[in-house]
Chain A
Amino acid sequence: MKHRRRTAAWQLNLLLFPSALILALFIIYPALYSVYMSFTNEALVGPSARNPSLVGFRNYLRLFGDAEFWNALYVTLVFVVGSAIIGQFVLGLASALALTRRIRFRSLFSVFILLPNAAPEVVAGFMWISMLAGGDNATLSRIVMFFGITPPDWLQVFPLWMIIIVNTWRGIATAMILLSAGLSTIPQDVLEAARIDGARPFQIFRRITLPLMLPTIVLYMLISAVSTIAVFGLIYTLTRGGPGGATELVSIYIYNQSFTAFQLGYGAAVSVIVLLISMAIGIAYVRMMAVKV
């Protein structure tokens, strides 16, 4: 028996090996190389592109005094909380709850809600340019004008709100799928029993549905927060981080530092800090919620 288990462990490792190899080569190694790069003055162009040298902690020291970096962190925080934690979650939960009822056009509704998630980032970006940019001709402007409101220039006046709305739009489906899955694990007889006991729907939701769904919600929050930090193409197509850095998420800040200011070393230092922060959040989160995997 003992012998067999050891063989099994060896076999398991063999099964995991190809995945580990690909991850190591195409993700882990580049990530480590980024860490190394963050201690150099590597650049895409200029004298240090030919002879990069180690500069110690200079990139990091600069970063802590860089108001734009702090701004990017702040924008990202608001963006993640606004779109992933609140927007997608609330609308996703609402749709998931509404779809548990036997109502007509159920599949039509769920198709509509799934569509934004299927739209590739670039296409989604274009569609929202048409929605928001172009002054009075923008679709959203015409909608509010129909209600007699003078439309502002959306991306100039409420840039951060707009990208939160856009990202919420894109992610309702993911939340809905995961939360529907969570909802369907709640035993129907428990709900029925509560109903017979005369509990009101809101009470049922608060006392039964929500507590039973907590593990799902925790998992959803972790996954969506982590993937929202990495959102890039959607917002980049839409605003490129502007106006004046108002929508400059860290992912866009890194891109701008590395590829439009050509400072690879500094861009790498920002990546490292972002990775550290999200790891800290991730670990704290897992500890706090005591999630088991």
Chain B
Amino acid sequence: MPTALSSARRRQRHGHSFLSYSTLLLISVFCIVPFFWIFLSSFDGDAQLFLHWPQQWTFDNYTRVFTVEDGGLWLFNSLFIVGCATILVVVLAGFGGYALSRSRAWWKLPFLYGILLIRVLPPTALVVPLYTILLTLNNWESAILRPIFGGLTRDIMRWTGFIDGYLGIILVLAAMQLPLALWIMKTFFDSVSPEYEEAAIIDGASLVQRIRYVLIPLALPGLAAAGLFSFIFAWGDFLMPLIFLSSPELQTLPLGLFRAFLRVNEIDYGLLAAISIIYLLPPAAAFVFARRFLVATFTGGVKG
């Protein structure tokens, strides 16, 4: 009897694996087929809009991104801007998420739902007023800097300017990602028992000490998840850089890509595909390396 049962179950198990395999296979094919074109075209000396097997394999498209176009600069700018925005989001959301988790203030719920729902506002609706604000800040800054630094002002403003400067775009990208990151961190801290802190409080630790020695180590997985998502979304945003950056020195990868695409009937598909692959790699790598621990982190969040 037992053997019969277990063999039946084994058969059932086999049936399940088959079902699982075919499900995963179908979904995977659906997911990766669109990538074939962009991947093959990037190595194709004669790339077209449609998929075909390259007649002449070449690295030329990639070389051109860095020699003919300013690919190196675009890559640096993208990494720098999105990197800074991500760090900013992680720090702010770490503190803010903790505060939201522990706070019992009456405005906590409205605040949380408010920032979540504000995400439905398409960024396109915010662009015009955002531009006005950033320009105002930018003009104030330049009014202060100009009398002091004179001709150097423009070089300084390239870093600290709000329009067409690193600082402005970093702040904007960070602000866009902050709501989701705050939610992730808040949910994460909800699952961290306050007992640890209470113990620390009893031991006489100050808020700074508690953060430094208790909360940051506990929050690391959550911070990593929030950072990862912020990085991926901010990396993919092209509307904000499009509107707020114009100097050639500040161009980022999506702008380079968009420009290559908008050359209408002069589109160079090989170049376009090569830029796309370069642009695609960092978030893909981030996702692939982080996928296990993402699930683990959200497990904490969902439980709480």
Contact = CB atoms under 8 A, between A and B. Distances in A.
Tell me if chains A and B make direct contact, with any CB pair below 8 A. Answer: yes
Interface of A: 4, 8-9, 11-13, 15-16, 18-20, 22-23, 25-31, 33-34, 37, 91, 94-95, 97-99, 101, 103, 107, 109-124, 126-131, 133-134, 137-139, 142-143, 169, 172-173, 177-178, 180-182, 184-185, 201, 215-216, 219, 222-223, 226-227, 229-230, 232-233, 250-251, 254-255, 258-259, 264, 267-268, 271, 274-275, 278-279, 282-283, 286, 293
Given A95-B27, A180-B295, A126 B261 contact: yes
The CB with the most chain A CB atoms within 10 A, among B31, B112, B272, B298, is that of: B31
24 contacts: A4-B201, A13-B103, A16-B103, A19-B96, A22-B92, A23-B179, A25-B133, A26-B130, A29-B133, A95-B24, A95-B27, A112-B31, A115-B287, A120-B235, A120-B280, A123-B38, A126-B272, A126-B276, A133-B49, A137-B51, A139-B50, A184-B295, A230-B123, A271-B122
Contacts of B172: 26
Given A119-B35, A230-B120, A271-B122, 5 more contacts: A9-B104, A18-B96, A25-B133, A91-B27, A219-B302
A254 B175 contact: no
A169 B30 contact: yes
Nearest to B104: A9
B80 interface: no
Interface string B90-103: 00110110111011
A52 to B, nearest CB: 12
Given A9-B103, A264-B128, A134 B49 contact: yes
A254 to B, nearest CB: 5
A33 B34 contact: no
A259 B257 CA distance: 21
B1 interface: no
Contacts of B254: 120, 122
Interface of B: 12, 16-17, 19-21, 23-25, 27-28, 30-38, 48-51, 92-93, 95-96, 98-100, 102-105, 109, 112-113, 115-126, 128-130, 132-133, 171-172, 174-176, 178-179, 182, 186-187, 201, 207, 232, 235-239, 254, 257-258, 261, 272, 276, 279-280, 283-284, 286-288, 291, 294-299, 301-303
Q: Which secondary structure characterizes the binding site on chain A?
A: helix
A177 B37 contact: no
A263 to B, nearest CB: 11
Given A30-B133, A215-B302, A271-B125, A23 B261 contact: no
Q: Which secondary structure characterizes the binding site on chain B?
A: helix
Contact of A37 (B50, B116, B129, B303): B129
Contacts of A111: 288, 291
A191 B200 CA distance: 39
A115 B31 contact: yes
Contacts, number: 290
A185 B124 contact: no
Contact of B99 (A12, A91, A143, A258): A12
B92 A18 contact: yes
Given A22-B171, A98-B24, A130-B49, A16 B99 contact: yes
Contact of A22 (B49, B175, B207, B299): B175
B286 to A, nearest CB: 7
A123 B280 contact: yes
B272 A139 contact: no
A221 to B, nearest CB: 13
